[in-house]
Each structure stands twice: as C-alpha cells, then as structure tokens.
Structure 1
Amino acid sequence: MYMKKTTLFLLGILFSLGISAQTPFYFIQLTDPQFGMIDKNASFDKETALMEKAVKQINKLNPGFVVVTGDLVNDGNNADQIKEFKRILATLRKDIPVYLTPGNHDVGQQPTSASLAGYIDTYGYDCFSFQMNGTCFIGINTQIIWADVKDAEQSQLVWLTKVLENSQKCTHRILFGHHPVFVHSADEADKYDNFPLAKRNDYLNLFNRFNVSDQFAGHLHYNSSGQYGNFRITGTSTVGMQIGKEKSGLRIVKVYPDKIESTYYPLDEVPAIVEL
C-alpha cells in the first residue's frame, strides 16, 4: 500500500525537473535535524534554533534543491516534533524544491507496515527520483535495508533498478539515503552505521553496474568518506546534535558535467555566494 502511494508521487516528479542542459549547479544537503535529541525529547528548542538558522542561510542562496537525509525528528511518534520540523521547513523559499528521505528515528529501528505507512501519511513518500540538468537524483529508504524488512525492501529494489535502467542518458547518478552503504571500507564489519554485509555487495554491484557516482548520507552525526570503485560515499554531519568534532551545519554539493564537488559548512560559515 505504501509503495503504491510512493510510486504515484514518483511518477509525478520523475521528469518534472528534467532538462537536457548540463549547466553547472549546486544543491544543499541537510541531515539529522532530529528534533528532540539534544534534550532527550523533553524539548526541541535547540533544534528549532539550529534549523531556523539553516533555513535562513539557505534562503539567501539559490540551490537547485534541498535534500534532508533522514532523522527528521527524534521520536517518529511525537506529533509536536513533527509539526515543528514541518513548520520550519515550510519557511524555505517556495522556489527551492525540497526532498526528504526517512531515517531510523522516523520509521523505527524495526519498521512495521504501520510505521512505514504512517511516515508516508505524514510526509507523502519514502523514496523519490528526479532529473535535473542531466543528472539523475535518487532517494531511498535505507532503514528497510538495514532492518531487513523483506517485502518493502524488495519493492524498493525493483523500483530502484528500473529508475537506474532509465537513467542511462544522464551524466551523473547521485543517491541519497540516511545510512551510508558503508562508512570507510566496503568490507568493514556490520554495525549500526552501515548496510549489512549480506546485502552490501549486492547494492554496491548494482550501483557500479549503473555508474552511480555518489551517495550522500547522514546517520553518523559526523563527516566521513569512503569509496568502492567509482562509487563515492560522503557522510554528512548534522544540522542538529553533534557527536564528533564538527559544528552543526550543511553540505553544499556542486554538480559539473565532469565532476561532483562538495564542502561541509558550519552554519556560521555558510558562504553568502556559491561560486561555480
């Protein structure tokens, strides 16, 4: 049921932004605003201040779009956290498209059909695809992969494969998802942060087969990077609570016909103008 709703949404946006020109452009990734995490669900005032600051900075710029890669809230059943996240997101300039992928805190550590349907009822979809300036962008629900939700994962995999098959005229294919496929090394051990090894190679082979150049992920609450063949994984630190040494911030990703470049900026250091 929820995949059907998602598919209808995808059909509506798949080519809505697609144009043939390969003009350089940039987009902005936010991740893990996770309303309620800092004060352990007692309050989300600190997340409100950080997210409002991020949106204010973005509204001064002209990105092609914004993507938020999961853990939108700390408690996916907390209506107040969800309402506040959506309220602030709605203050983004109307000419800037925004896309979301779910995180484990949004659909649960072990998602059920009810939690997945609830997420879609709240946000409209749990995966997406569109084309812009000759690049194909794909967002997936990584929690159903990590938690081995077989029916949901299989439906998504069928859809993902078709999207990739239909993207061969694109110059680049870029993936978004909450969990990185891996953090540093393709053969690293299973952990909370990555795709299970039992599935990881299948996904890596799929992405290399269709020349997916990059994944931009969240989940870690710190910046990371890894590479397997031509597939590069960039983990982005959070706009919300930090675990590592980074400060709350966002990532600006520049897309050129021959390369992809990205830089993470603390919120106080976001440039006033993005040079391409």
Structure 2
Amino acid sequence: MSAPEVGGVFHRARGRILDAFPEEKEREWKGPFYFIQGADPQFGLIKAWSTGDCEASGDEWDQEIRLTEQAVLAINKLNPKPKFFVLCGDLIHAMPGMPWRKEQTEDLQRVLGGVDKAIPLVFVSGNHDVGNTPTAESVEEFQRTWGDDYFSFWVGGVLFLVLNSQFFFDASKCPALKQAQDQWLDAQLSTAGDRKCQHAVIFQHIPLFIENIEEDDDYFNLSKSVRQELADKLTNAGVKAVFSGHYHRNAGGTFRNLDMVVSSAIGCQLGKDTHGLRVVVVTADKIVHRYYSLDELSEKGLEDDLMQLMKEK
C-alpha cells in the first residue's frame, strides 16, 4: 500500500538537502537560537499497546490526534518562534504494507499542516516508517511521502545531519542504500571535522545507547559493535549531540564529548514520563535542552526559560 504524497505546505528534503534553509545564508554563526524536538507521535500505538498487540497497526488514533494537535498549538504560541520543529521518527504506527497506514498518514499530515508556516518541519524516519528491516520500496515510499530519509541542513552556522537509523539496525535487504548513507555521512563529517561549522548535531530515531555506551544490546538501542563504531566516528568529527526518540521515555547519557539525548513521545508513553516536547537552545559554545510536558508548554511562555537555558553551563 503506497502512502499519499505530502502537500505543498511542507518543506521536503530533496537531493539530501532541506531547502527551508538556504545554505549560503545559514553557514555563518549569527547568535543563539532554539528549536523544538519531538518524537513518536505514532498514530495508532496507544490502542495497539492497550490491547497488548503492538504488531497490529492500531485501528484507533483519536488520542494521538489530540496530543499532536496540542503540540502544534503549543509550538505556534511560542515567542520568539523556534527555528524549526524536528520529529525524530515513528510518525505513524502502521508498518509498510499494514492496514490503516494511508489513513494514519493522512491524519498526521492534516494535523501537521497546522504548524505555523514560519516554523519549518524536519522529518526523521523511524522503524515504523520504513520497516524494521527496510527495503528499497519502503524507503522510496517514505521519500515520496515525507522527503529524503537522510539529509543535511544548516541553521545559523550549525550543521544538522538527519540519518536513517534503520540502516544501522538491519540493512540486510538494502545493503547498497546503507553503503550510500555511510559514504554520504563520512563526507558530511569531514566538514564538521575540519571545524567549518559552529556545532554539528545528529537527528535519528534509534538511540546509539539509552544510558551508557557499554550497555547490553536491546530493542531500543543499536548493537554494541555498531554503536561503538558510529560513536567513535561522530566524536572524532566533533559532533556535539545526537537527538533520538524510539524509547518512549526520557533517557540519555554521554560518551566522551557527545551528548546522547533520548526524548519521550508525543504519543504513547511506555514509562512514567508525560507526553511532551524537548526545547533545545544552541549557543556559541554549548547545546542545552529541557523536556516539557505538552500541558506545561501550552500553559507558559518560554522567554524566561530560554534566557536561563542560554546561561547554563
């Protein structure tokens, strides 16, 4: 089942770049800014989780619609506006070829169409978006629907890289696609390694690790061998942070100078966290962040908090 293409209201990554941010205008540092990170709206999971059958696609997603609408309204009210809103994967719950995929996609597109047009959306692919073991066909569907599955963009002198983490998880059905991303990533990291950017930041769905680089392999992290090789590559290039979702709980840790940030979900919660979003402040020498519940973000402004985050060491 193929999903419908996104309408013109979204900036879609094409040719491995996001045209919402013209590189010639964004390569230079211009001062502190902030963005919003969300993860796992995953339309359909709340129902599927409640029935104990998460392999099912979930035939109801009214709660996820309401939660995502609340997130959109909260973001639109923020002053000053964030530079962008990134969604770190599992946009919907229905896997490629599963029932309800088209309907979940259409509803999410409709809700996200309400985001203020001055706030570009950045889409990251998750395992439910391209499949646990992606294929050329499932990746192509994602690209038609949401844009490129990996790409780069610049904002205010900061290099942001969006990765398809399923290639690190299981690329057995699309090895050539993984190889292409690996080569592209090496080329991008050479720019970061030459210190031609103020910071370099990664967005992907599956975390490198949940709390510690040495932790055991789990459904919610990348395997030890993969995570260590990738973490070494990123830290050697000077990447400051990796932002992810997938875990449906807040977590994270550090490896050398790399901040591994795991954000809980807009949608279904698997732990004790609340439905929420992460506010990320970028200054000349650091990247700081805080997770807010949707209720908290809806009820208060961010001006005072942004000033405080900019002062944090």
Does TM, scored on the shorter chain, surpass 0.5? yes
> Does the residue aligned with 1:258 lie in a helix, a strand or coil?
coil
- Asked if 1:25 is matched to 2:33, the reply is yes
CA distance in 1, matches of 2:133, 2:285: 40
- For structure 2, the 5+ residue unaligned runs are 1-11, 49-57, 308-313
CA distance in 2, matches of 1:16, 1:50: 37
CA distance in 1, matches of 2:43, 2:205: 16
2:45 paired residue number:
37
CA distance in 2, matches of 1:226, 1:6: 29
Letter aligned with residue 46 of structure 1: Q
> Does the residue aligned with 1:27 lie in a helix, a strand or coil?
strand
2:269 paired residue number:
242
Q: Deviations over 1:71-116 (max 9, x none)?
A: 0000144100001111111110011111011111111111111111
> Does the residue aligned with 1:257 lie in a helix, a strand or coil?
coil
TM-score where L is the length of structure 2: 0.83
Change (3 A) 1:11 1:35: closer
1:70 paired residue number:
89
2:119 paired residue number:
96
CA distance in 2, matches of 1:145, 1:124: 20
- Asked if 1:158 is matched to 2:183, the reply is yes
CA distance in 2, matches of 1:57, 1:127: 27
CA distance in 1, matches of 2:210, 2:171: 19
Q: CA deviation at 1:166?
A: 2.1
Match of residue 156, structure 2, among 120, 133, 141: 133
Mapping of residues 1-16 of structure 1, within 5 Å? 8-10=15-17, 12=19, 15=23
- Asked if 1:51 is matched to 2:68, the reply is yes
- Asked if 1:207 is matched to 2:234, the reply is yes
CA distance in 2, matches of 1:23, 1:263: 20
> Does the residue aligned with 1:94 lie in a helix, a strand or coil?
coil
| Percent identity of equivalent pairs | 36
Q: Which consecutive aligned stretches of 4+ in structure 1 deviate over 6 angstroms post-superposition?
A: none
CA distance in 2, matches of 1:185, 1:169: 29
Change (3 A) 1:87 1:16: farther
- Asked if 1:220 is matched to 2:239, the reply is no
Q: CA deviation at 1:127?
A: 1.2
Mapping of residues 137-216 of structure 1, within 5 Å? 137-149=160-172, 150-167=175-192, 168-216=195-243
> Does the residue aligned with 1:8 lie in a helix, a strand or coil?
coil
CA distance in 2, matches of 1:215, 1:60: 27
Q: Deviations over 1:162-213 (max 9, x none)?
A: 1121232111111100011111111212111111122222111110111101
Once the two structures are overlaid, the 10-residue window that deviates more, 223-232 or 5-14, is 5-14
Q: CA deviation at 1:148?
A: 3.1
Q: Deviations over 1:139-172 (max 9, x none)?
A: 1000111113432221111111111212321111
Change (3 A) 1:153 1:90: same
TM-score where L is the length of structure 1: 0.94
> Does the residue aligned with 2:70 lie in a helix, a strand or coil?
helix
CA distance in 2, matches of 1:138, 1:197: 22
2:310 paired residue number:
none
Match of residue 60, structure 1, among 67, 74, 77: 77
CA distance in 1, matches of 2:30, 2:222: 32
Letter aligned with residue 17 of structure 2: L
Give the root-mean-square deviation of aligned CA atoms. Answer: 1.7
Preserved CA contact (<8 Å) 2:14 2:147: no
Q: Deviations over 1:45-81 (max 9, x none)?
A: 0000000000000001100111000000001441000
CA distance in 2, matches of 1:52, 1:172: 32
- Asked if 1:230 is matched to 2:238, the reply is no
Preserved CA contact (<8 Å) 1:76 1:82: no
- For structure 1, the 5+ residue unaligned runs are none
CA distance in 2, matches of 1:139, 1:239: 19
Preserved CA contact (<8 Å) 1:130 1:136: yes
Letter aligned with residue 58 of structure 1: I
2:288 paired residue number:
261
Letter aligned with residue 141 of structure 1: N
Letter aligned with residue 42 of structure 1: D
CA distance in 1, matches of 2:14, 2:169: 21
CA distance in 1, matches of 2:159, 2:16: 16
What is the number of residues matched between the two proteins?
272
